[in-house]
Amino acid sequence: MTEKRNRNFSKFVKWFWGLVLGGLFLICFIFLLASWGAFGKLPTFEQLENPENNLATEIISTDGKTIGKYAHENRTPIKYKDLPQNLVEALVATEDERFYDHSGIDFRGTARAVLKPGSGGASTITQQLAKMLFTKRASKNIVLRVIQKLKEWVVATKLERQYTKQEIIAMYLNKYDFLNQAVGIRSASRIYFGKEPKELEIAESAMLVGMLKNSSLYNPLRRKELVKRRRDVVLKQMNRNDFITEQRKDSLQKTELGLNYTPESHSDGLATYFREYLRSFLKDWVKKNPKPNGELYDIYRDGLKIYVTIDSRMQRYAEEAVKEHVANLQKYFFQEQKRNKQAPFYDIDKSDISKILVRGRNNSDRYKRMKAAGKSSKEIEKAFNTKTEMRVFTWKGDRDTILTPYDSIRYYKYFLRSGLVSIEPQTGHVKAWVGGINNKHFKYDAVKQQKRQVGSTFKPFVYATAINQLKRSPCDKLPNTLYTIPKEKYGMKDDWTPKNAGNDYGGEITLKKALAGSVNVITARLIDEVSPVNVARLAKSAGISSDFEANPSIALGAIDLSLFEMVSAYSTFANKGLRVSPMMLTHIEDKNGTVLENFVPETKEVLSEESAYVILNLMEGVTRAGSGVRLRTTYARPKYITGYPYKFNNAIAGKTGTTQNQSDGWFMGIVPNLATGVWTGGEDRSIHFAGIDKGQGAAMSLPTWGIFMRKCYEDKTLNISKSSFEKPSDLSINVDCAKHEEKKKEEKEGDENTNEGATDF
């Protein structure tokens, strides 16, 4: 009996070990089959070395700040050294406590998960990375799920052999999608907390690690309380693993999430209009600069680094200045429109208004979608006259309302638009670019895309031509009387006799006073002296790229030009007559830091250093005694002039411009190392202030310039010059009109004395 029992026990032991060893052999065999690709293709060695990622192209400002990205996935990978230790500790404590002890598979955790369901996940950080990188979404079929898990194990062990633990952590955090355009830890840190990962506090790191369990469920923008509870679990795990003390844990759990949501979509962040222009430039650039293998770079997934000339500080000040002044000015425009029966239009009849609204309809996304869907004109017209829910722009934030699409088109016509661009004359670097008041709702770029009539801001090119060719002095006097240019002289249809604003005539005035007061008849005399062709030639040489007819009316700015080309041309005056072509990029790198192209500006001499200095001296008169004097004075201001008083006492060369019916208000301002221009007006020329007080350039655009420059001067890290313009050592043209008058008086007295001593025979 005992012998039989022993035989049975021995047989049982053999069966037991046979099953155990056979099971282990079977698991190893299945594992080998999986590694050989029997259950589906696995990544190659090369793929493990270079896992495919969609890497965002990064736009980096001249002061080293990321101001935007182009991406299908907003992912910018960083290295382990750029991760804060508290983030790594939170990750390991919560997701994989034995991370540093296993080789990709935590068999202890796996056994616990099998024997005690619900006790916690069995996937290691490396397995989770393998799943994100190479395996498909989990199947509901149990057999397929087991096979997928085996494949994850194989990939995880390969990852552990190929990479260090630190590299695996960095890869995992760089790959995870934290939602809301935050793919990867760097994007998540910037979007949710407005800071770089290295700057994350413990509680902030804990929140982001908490999201790793399920970012859709633990979305801090939708479920703050749930996310806070999950964060507190992570803090508890950090305490359990001795990364933080019990006291520290309790203290942190009492804090709020502290979100600083900073979205990074194409319509958010800094320099949105500039980034949109840059996107179109890069699409052309990649066609001319292929990869070594002949493929084209993809700006949405190849992780390029675009180093631009924009200064993030100046860009922020420029956007703040535009917003501050235009929002204030808009209040007065709204008030005025309450008395306008055709609001917001002037000077046109109902049929013209209808045409404007139809044009707006045809340019809308709604119209283009309906057209693409094959809708008839009748169906489209009905839809545009049917009230619907929509979200519209207001200066106090977007607002939900119900309007017909036609009403919404008219509603947006009420808003004044504005643009600002700032260029460093000596380098051509574009330092700030504000193309509008809100890129999400107003796409049209007022810096480069839009061209509007420039008015009196073109007059300095007439004066510069006269100075450069004829050595005219700011102290020279011309009669302030009507001046007619006959039609035959330049092949015009009619004689041209411009008039002064306010019909103010009489006597003689200096060129300095004429430019300061924007006296039209003096400008007409000057352009006739030098010829419109020569003025046009100088303007184009200075940076005006648009084609226009060289006739006498250009003297008063009766041409449409962009703000960008105007500021570019004005920069030539500040750079001693030397034009430096505008630069928006310094260089482009690939994802590995290899420089793909360096950008160098073109330079050429446009006018002499002496002439450039004299025209600056003339334009200084505009800000000391002319239409730009508000930059210096402190008298009681109208409420529509924002930011006043500016109290500038440094050298500023400037020129205001106001077009017919106040449709466009301009201000161009130059200091020795910065040229900045501002335009403000309605979307259509029939949208404007009724009167000159609020509609002139000195009210529409000068305040924006003043606010921007004051902010720049207050930031001592920018080194914006307050010096005088450098006077040439060989200056031969007299610019001191007081001394000029004194000299003429002495000469006159000398002549009289000579006459008194003469004998009359």
Report the chain's mean pLDDT, rounded to a whole number. 88
Counted residue by residue, the chain has a size of: 761
Q: Taking residues 15-37, report their average pLDDT.
A: 53
379's torsion region: left (phi>0), alpha (psi -120 to 50) or beta? alpha
Residue 207 exposure: Cα atoms within 13 Å on the Cβ side: 25
Nearest to 569 by CA among 541, 604, 609: 541
pLDDT-derived band at 738 (thresholds 50, 70, 90) equals confident
Q: Tell me the three state secondary structure of residue 707.
A: helix
Q: Does position 616 have pLDDT exceeding 90, yes or no?
A: yes
Model confidence band, residue 175 (pLDDT cutoffs 50, 70, 90): confident
Model confidence, pTM: 0.79
451-499 per-position pLDDT tens digit: 999 999 999 999 999 999 999 999 999 999 999 999 999 999 999 999 9
Give the Cα separation of 61 and 749 in Å (integer). Answer: 62
Tokens (6 digits) for 642:
């924002």
Instruction: Tell me the average pLDDT across 105-134.
Output: 63
Strands 417-424 and 674-681: antiparallel
User: What percent of the chain has a predicted confidence (pLDDT) above 70?
Assistant: 84
Average pLDDT over residues 71-94: 88
**What is the average pLDDT across 638-650?**
92
Percentage of the chain exceeding pLDDT 90? 70
- What pLDDT, on a 0 to 100 scale, did the predictor assign at position 117? 47
What b/e sequence results for 141-159 when a residue is b if at least 16 CB atoms lie within 10 Å of its CB, and e otherwise? Answer: eeeeeebbbbbbbbbbbbb
Q: DSSP for 374-401?
A: T--HHHHHHHHTS-EEEEE--TT--EEE
Q: Tell me which CATH homologous superfamily contains domain 75-263.
A: Biosynthetic peptidoglycan transglycosylase-like (1.10.3810.10)
Give the pLDDT confidence of 60-79 residue by residue, as tens digits: 999 999 998 887 766 778 89
- The mean pLDDT of 85-102, rounded to a whole number, is 90
| Pairing assessment for the beta strands 674-681 and 603-605 based on DSSP bridges | unpaired
The residues that bridge with 60 in the sheet, in sequence order, are 66, 307
Tell me how crowded residue 561 is: count the other CB atoms within 10 A of its CB.
21
83 φ, ψ to 5°?
-95, 140
What are the pLDDT digits (tens) for 565-585?
Answer: 999 999 999 999 999 999 999
Rounded distance between C-alpha atoms, residue 380 and residue 384, angstroms: 6
pLDDT at 752: 56
Q: At what angle do helices 563-574 and 459-470 cross, to 10 degrees?
A: 30
Which pLDDT score, from 0 to 100, does residue 6 have? 60
Q: How confident is the model at residue 144 (pLDDT cuts 50, 70, 90)?
A: low
- The count of C-alpha atoms lying within 13 angstroms of the C-alpha of 505, restricted to the half-sphere facing its C-beta, is 10
Q: Does 753 have pLDDT greater than 70?
A: no
Instruction: State the alpha helices, DSSP H only, in 503-608.
Output: 511-516, 520-530, 532-542, 563-574
Reference 740, options 465, 460, 513, 479; nearest CA is: 513
CA distance 44 to 375: 50
Q: Which of 46-60, 63-77, 732-746 has the lowest mean pLDDT?
A: 46-60
Is it the case that residue 740 has pLDDT exceeding 70? no
| pLDDT digits 0-9 by tens, 404-419 | 999 999 999 999 999 9
SS percent in the chain: helix, strand, coil, step 5: 50, 10, 40
Q: What DSSP assignment string belongs to 501-526?
A: GGG---SEEEHHHHHHTT-HHHHHHH
- Supply 301's token pair: 């997934």
The residue ranking higher by pLDDT, 503 or 4, is: 503
Per-residue pLDDT reduced to its tens digit, 242-297: 999 999 999 999 999 999 988 766 667 899 999 999 999 999 999 999 999 999 99
